[in-house]
Chains A and B, each alone.
Chain A
Amino acid sequence: MLQAISRWLRGEESGISVPPMDGVLKPNNKLESAERLLVLPAVDNLATDGTSAYCSSGKVLYRLKREGDLFGAEPAGEFEGPVTCIATGPGRIAVGVQGKGILVFDGRDGWRQHDLPSPLSSCATAADFCPDGKLIVCVGSQRNAASDWKRDLLENGHTGSILSIDESGRIETLRGALAFPYGIIAHGVDDFVYSESWRYRLTESRGSGVVLADLPAYPARLARAADGGLWLSLFAPRRQLFEMVLREHDYRREMMSTIPPSDWIGPELNSEGGPDQPLQAGSVRQMGIIKPWAPSRSYGLVVKCNPSGHPVASWHSRADGTMHGITSVLEFGDDVLVTAKGANTLLRLPREAEA
């Protein structure tokens, strides 16, 4: 409230600030130097049912097998559209497929499809099973598909919702009007924690509400940690320029109507891209190198929080690195696995990370 008043007093000019990465979030190179286990195109959606780990790569669902100290991936299913989320429960696995809805496999009846009504079907961004068997699903947006997240961001989208689907397929809306929920940890229909990307915060369903606010990057999926805390992956950085463009309605509308989405000003999963990529002043290559602190459209960031929700450690890949676009993280046995979707790589964090 005080902030709102001071912002109104100071005028529009003051709102554009991105919290600096400091303290626990001080940048390092731990993600860039992490062990690279596998290369799979668009690798994403890590999940485990306790015994096996799963990930997706485009339309294919993979099971990860340990091979000594490393991992191998074997295909476990292929679908009609890109896999947008995976959730596992005892003996069950649920997969969100863009354009189709949720498919649940519980071993006995094969893959059973739960149709989601049309506006909800293309953007199931994250899902988690409750102990009582209900599936809680995050739908990022009703207007844009999951792969169109950038358009949703630039439209200031807030049509996301959180649904619960029970075994019979009945859908109940738990939350609505969210700004792209992209990660969830559910203990029950009234006890869950979710990340809201365009509002860069973590919220829980009970208690005071906001767990972590004003993150310096857009949060993606969450994962449980053995010590009761949680793992948070952040898939793209916030920048002053992006925040500014979100407020410049004239420029933004014209950009969105005349320029292809891949060339828009805004965050990306990686910094490759075509010739028409917008460049920021600090990202100019000087004397042959790009500085690590240069403004970059993509970034790699994983954060570990303790049970009370405070960050205690972070892993980064900076502007001069390539392991960007972290969309999911998973604790699997002794290992912490991370998918860098922007680099198509599955990473394992150094073992001394967990402590």
Chain B
Amino acid sequence: MNDTLTRLRYRMFSDRMVGELLSKSWIDSAIPAFFLLIVVLAASLLTTDFWATGNLGDLGRQVAEFGLQGIGLTIVILSGGIDLSIGSAFALTVLVCLVSMNVLGLPVGVALLATLATGFACGLLNGILIGYLRLRAFITTLVTLVIYRAIYDILFPRLASAIVGNTPDSAIWDFVGFGTVLGIPVSFVIFALLAFLLHIGLSRLRPGWRLRAVGGARRSAHNAGINVKRTVCSAYVASGLLTAIAAFLFSARLGSTGADTGIGLEISVLTAVVLGGVSLGGGRGAVGNAIIGAVLVLILTNSLIRLALPGSVNQLLLGVVLILAVLFDAKWVKNRGKILNKLYVSPAYLSLAPRREANPDPYVLNDRLGATELIGLGEVEGPEDVILDEDDNLYTGTRHGTIERFWAPDYVRRETFAAVGGHPLGLNFDRDGNLLTCVGGMGVYKVAPDGTVAKVTDETNRSLLSIIDDSRLRLPDDLDVAPDGRIFFSEATIRYDMSEWATDALEGRGNGRLICHDPRSGTTRTVLRGLIFPNGITVCRDGQSLLFAETWACRINRYWFDGPKKGHREIFMDNLPGYPDNINRGSDGTFWVALLGMRTKTFDLAMRKPGFRRRMARQIASDEWLFPNINRGCVVHVSAEGAVLEVFWDRGGANHPSITSTCEHKGYLYMGGVSNNRVGRVKLEGADPTWTARSDYWEGR
């Protein structure tokens, strides 16, 4: 009863969403966005007519100017620096703009150019000092703050009367300051356009990536060939230009400037940017963060003014909010990785039938693998799959990303056949003799007989309802080739990478899928979803169905991909005493199944207790987790109907504790293990000494 309840609960409410959401890159913006929502709600409740067009239009204009500066500061912070001079630069550019318009009476376009040129110059000075001369950003911008302010303080009094004495007579000027487009203020439209372009640039285009690289890890960016100095300088120039545009909008709106223009602006913009979620350390942040923060700060300050609190209280409150935001940011950045690790593993309920012991028990322990011949002892690490070609040479993948070839007949001479990368797992030859391989972490690759490596596919169609981007292939495991050349391969899990494959065992959920790639059309499509760690695949001799193993479910399934039974799926072998890995054809119409580990009663019990496993994943170190027993494995010889013919064990477990793949070739059985450093070979009594997999597949039988 308890079990049924547990099963239902875990079927209906899956905890995986929390962990997957946290692993998304935009999660850093989610929390400030949430706060923004709360603040907007509070403001609309506390102040009347928050949503009146007048108020929103007003807010829009303020957001335009403040937001542009926020984006500028975000760009600088993304590059790993900080710009304290934006307030003074703002004042200076406002002065230039107003002088051009009011005093000199220049046309709007020229005034805009002059303003931009001033902003450019201010930014360039910062950029050269910090980017090229490698001065410290904080001190340098503090100094330029003082310098620009001083210039403003000197020039402003002389020009003040002239500025306030004249009003420019330009329709465009008034339009920019006060106009609306379909009810939306013009300055907001300009801002929205710029923000959109900058967002694309920062997140999708190379300059943005380079900027983040420099901010996140300066030395590595330099080593990767990015021109760090130029990137940093351009960040400050960008900030200067954005400040100039903000100044232009401000001047159009107010038409005058005072002695206190821009004073304290750098603090408010910094508050906004940090509140919005941009990390002060550099490398993390987006335009969205700047906008969220700007809107937050503006709504906050406006509401405070509206509540008629004394001005000093407003400043105090804003300061407190900034401190809290910075503290939270620091904690979050430090602990995000840890929290994600704790929350990501979401075990599900998996119930395996109790093992029946048949009489006689074919799984009784023996030592038929005790005296294997060893190939490549210590020379190959992680030979997950082994295969032989028509010249009897042995191929196997290693965790160093290479496919090694051992020359027949003694298998002592070895060479690196191909350097693919990742960890080549399943191996199969196609009709033309190309070696197809599933590479863990990368995709499906093909190696021509001369050793050239080509990619077959590394993506499939994305499922709509998956939070994780499952168009990438994280752990393609084994593959097989159908008679018409279609490649069917398994992706063991979409939630974990090669290095953490065993954590999927702890989850026991159907995280894997069966995928088909058609070389004739070049398309890749997901065929079956929700499989529990699909592993070995082999096409049956009818050419219309295939067998695939579901490792943690301890069963092998058969799926028809062609013919009258197309789409039908049934269980081929159930309730295995261990975890099946690769399946390959054997002589006489049989199959070989490698069991990479054996079931233990305690682990089977744990699979029915998802709460226990979840607490285990959170409370104790990953080294201490309960695990499927992959220190013992065996090879099972199976008939075409799924009956166990014989079982091969390594009793001592010294040579082959865990076997992930076997290959029968001319009367010998070859074995490999993904955690092992050797390939084994044992003679099969009574097996057909001429039988090879190639002949079975392509030469008709």
B601 & A258 in contact (Cβ 8 Å cutoff) = yes
Q: A275-B632, A278-B602 are in contact. Are A248 and B612 (CB under 8 A)?
A: yes
B381 & A287 in contact (Cβ 8 Å cutoff) = yes
A284 CB–B CB distance under 8 Å: yes
Taking each of A259, A285, A295, which has the highest tally of chain B beta carbons within 10 Å of its own beta carbon?
A: A285
Docked CA distance A285–B624 (Å): 14
Partner of B677, one of A263, A284, A287: A287
Q: A263-B600, A279-B628 are in contact. Are A244 and B615 (CB under 8 A)?
A: yes
Q: Point out the residues of chain A lying under 8 angstroms from B655, CB to CB.
A: 288
A281 & B605 in contact (Cβ 8 Å cutoff) = no
Q: Point out the residues of chain B lying under 8 angstroms from A67, CB to CB.
A: none
- A54 CB to closest chain B CB (Å) equals 36
Q: Point out the residues of chain B lying under 8 angstroms from A265, CB to CB.
A: 602, 626
A239 & B618 in contact (Cβ 8 Å cutoff) = no
- A318 CB to closest chain B CB (Å) equals 15
- A265 CB to closest chain B CB (Å) equals 5
Told that A278-B603, A295-B624 touch, could you supply 20 new A-B pairs with CB distance under 8 A? Answer: A13-B619, A240-B620, A240-B624, A248-B615, A251-B609, A254-B605, A259-B601, A259-B602, A263-B602, A264-B602, A275-B600, A276-B629, A279-B603, A279-B630, A279-B631, A281-B626, A281-B627, A285-B631, A285-B653, A285-B675
Q: What residue of chain B has the Cβ atom nearest to residue A266's Cβ?
A: B602
Q: Mark A277-315, 1 if CB is under 8 A from B, else 0.
A: 111111111111000001100000000000000000000
A38 CB–B CB distance under 8 Å: no
A250 & B603 in contact (Cβ 8 Å cutoff) = no
- A340 CB to closest chain B CB (Å) equals 21
B527 CB–A CB distance under 8 Å: no
B627 & A280 in contact (Cβ 8 Å cutoff) = yes
Q: Point out the residues of chain B lying under 8 angstroms from A284, CB to CB.
A: 502, 627, 630-631, 658, 675
Q: A251-B606, A259-B601, A263-B600 are in contact. Are A241 and B676 (CB under 8 A)?
A: no
Q: Mark A212-242, 1 if CB is under 8 A from B, else 0.
A: 0000000000000000000000000001110
B307 CB–A CB distance under 8 Å: no
Q: Point out the residues of chain A lying under 8 angstroms from B616, CB to CB.
A: 241, 244
A60 CB–B CB distance under 8 Å: no
Q: What residue of chain B has the Cβ atom nearest to residue A13's Cβ?
A: B619
Could you jot down 17 A-B contacts, CB within 8 Å? A13-B618, A16-B620, A241-B616, A241-B626, A248-B609, A248-B615, A250-B612, A251-B606, A254-B605, A275-B365, A276-B601, A276-B629, A282-B624, A285-B631, A287-B675, A288-B654, A288-B677
Q: What residue of chain B has the Cβ atom nearest to residue A252's Cβ?
A: B612
Q: Point out the residues of chain B lying under 8 angstroms from A275, CB to CB.
A: 365, 598, 600, 629, 632
B621 CB–A CB distance under 8 Å: yes
Q: How many A-B residue pairs have CB under 8 A?
A: 107
Q: A239-B624, A241-B616, A241-B624 are in contact. Are A287 and B676 (CB under 8 A)?
A: yes
Taking each of A16, A250, A255, A275, which has the highest tally of chain B beta carbons within 10 Å of its own beta carbon?
A: A275
B600 & A277 in contact (Cβ 8 Å cutoff) = yes
B619 & A286 in contact (Cβ 8 Å cutoff) = no
Q: Point out the residues of chain A lying under 8 angstroms from B609, CB to CB.
A: 248, 250-251, 254
Docked CA distance A281–B616 (Å): 12
Partner of B658, one of A241, A258, A285, A294: A285
Partner of B600, one of A240, A278, A287: A278
A281 & B625 in contact (Cβ 8 Å cutoff) = yes
Q: Mark A245-270, 1 if CB is under 8 A from B, else 0.
A: 00010110011001100011100000
Q: Point out the residues of chain A lying under 8 angstroms from B484, CB to CB.
A: none
B600 & A276 in contact (Cβ 8 Å cutoff) = yes
Q: Point out the residues of chain B lying under 8 angstroms from A280, CB to CB.
A: 623-627
In B14-65, the 8 Å CB interface with A consists of none
Docked CA distance A240–B365 (Å): 32
Q: Point out the residues of chain A lying under 8 angstroms from B223, CB to CB.
A: none
Q: Point out the residues of chain A lying under 8 angstroms from B632, CB to CB.
A: 275
Q: A241-B625, A280-B625 are in contact. Are A16 and B631 (CB under 8 A)?
A: no
Q: Mark B622-645, 1 if CB is under 8 A from A, else 0.
A: 111111111110000000000000
Q: Point out the residues of chain B lying under 8 angstroms from A13, CB to CB.
A: 618-619
Docked CA distance A264–B626 (Å): 12
Partner of B629, one of A16, A264, A277: A277
B657 CB–A CB distance under 8 Å: yes
- B667 CB to closest chain A CB (Å) equals 27
In A1-48, the 8 Å CB interface with B consists of 13, 16
Q: Point out the residues of chain B lying under 8 angstroms from A295, CB to CB.
A: 623-624
Q: What residue of chain A has the Cβ atom nearest to residue B599's Cβ?
A: A276
| Nearest 7 interchain pairs by C-beta | A282-B623, A240-B620, A287-B677, A278-B602, A279-B629, A259-B601, A240-B624
B612 & A288 in contact (Cβ 8 Å cutoff) = no
Docked CA distance A201–B609 (Å): 32
In B570-624, the 8 Å CB interface with A consists of 598, 600-603, 605-606, 609, 611-612, 615-616, 618-624
- A93 CB to closest chain B CB (Å) equals 41
B678 CB–A CB distance under 8 Å: yes
Docked CA distance A239–B625 (Å): 10
- B578 CB to closest chain A CB (Å) equals 10
Q: Point out the residues of chain B lying under 8 angstroms from A16, CB to CB.
A: 619-620
- B361 CB to closest chain A CB (Å) equals 12
Q: A244-B616, A285-B653, A288-B676 are in contact. Are A259 and B605 (CB under 8 A)?
A: yes
Q: What residue of chain B has the Cβ atom nearest to residue A286's Cβ?
A: B675
Taking each of B603, B611, B616, B655, which has the highest tally of chain A beta carbons within 10 Å of its own beta carbon?
A: B616
Q: Point out the residues of chain A lying under 8 angstroms from B365, CB to CB.
A: 275
Taking each of B381, B598, B603, B612, which has the highest tally of chain A beta carbons within 10 Å of its own beta carbon?
A: B612
A279 & B600 in contact (Cβ 8 Å cutoff) = yes
Q: Point out the residues of chain A lying under 8 angstroms from B676, CB to CB.
A: 287-288
Docked CA distance A218–B609 (Å): 28
- A215 CB to closest chain B CB (Å) equals 18
Docked CA distance A240–B615 (Å): 12
Docked CA distance A248–B653 (Å): 32
Partner of A288, one of B605, B630, B678: B678
Docked CA distance A277–B603 (Å): 9
Q: Point out the residues of chain A lying under 8 angstroms from B605, CB to CB.
A: 251, 254-255, 258-259
Q: Mark A93-121, 1 if CB is under 8 A from B, else 0.
A: 00000000000000000000000000000
Q: Point out the residues of chain B lying under 8 angstroms from A282, CB to CB.
A: 623-624
Q: Mark B646-665, 1 if CB is under 8 A from A, else 0.
A: 00000001110110000000
- B354 CB to closest chain A CB (Å) equals 9
In A24-82, the 8 Å CB interface with B consists of none
Taking each of A265, A278, A281, A282, which has the highest tally of chain B beta carbons within 10 Å of its own beta carbon?
A: A281
Q: Point out the residues of chain B lying under 8 angstroms from A278, CB to CB.
A: 600, 602-603, 626, 629
Docked CA distance A284–B619 (Å): 20
Partner of A244, one of B600, B620, B628, B677: B620
Docked CA distance A13–B619 (Å): 6
A263 & B624 in contact (Cβ 8 Å cutoff) = no
Docked CA distance A285–B603 (Å): 18
